[in-house]
Amino acid sequence: MTLVFVYGTLKRGGANHAFLAGQSFLGNGCTAPGFRLYGLAGYPGMIRVPDDRDGVSGEVWSVGDDCLARLDELEGLAEGLYRREPIRLLPPFADQAVETYFYARSVAGRPDLGSTWLI
């Protein structure tokens, strides 16, 4: 099992939440400061922003290997759209190994959404 932090359309109520069917919701989480969301084509992308003070809010899920492979495909890892990497979250997940999807392309000209993607 892999712990995954989701912050956009994969969250409960989001357009792509069905990709997490059968997986375990562990709770709401927040990244440490240093990350922001940017608006893309109907979904957000998270990038590192060193001077950010808020972090990003989302959900933590425990997912199996098959689900993780489907998420990697959805997020376009092979095309270089996103990359999956470890991320540090605040308590109660601060001491756990958690991965997330970072947007891997430029956000120039994209709207800054701040810390929360509203479903």
Residue of 59, 73, 75, 99 marked active site = 75
Query: Residue 61 burial by CB count (10 A; 0-12/13-18/19+): exposed, middle or buried?
Result: buried
75 is an active site residue: yes
Rounded CA separation 35/25 (Å): 22
Measured CA angle at 114 (ends 112, 115), to 5 deg: 145
Least Cα distance to 20 among 65, 75, 61 occurs for 61
**Catalytic residue annotation:** 75
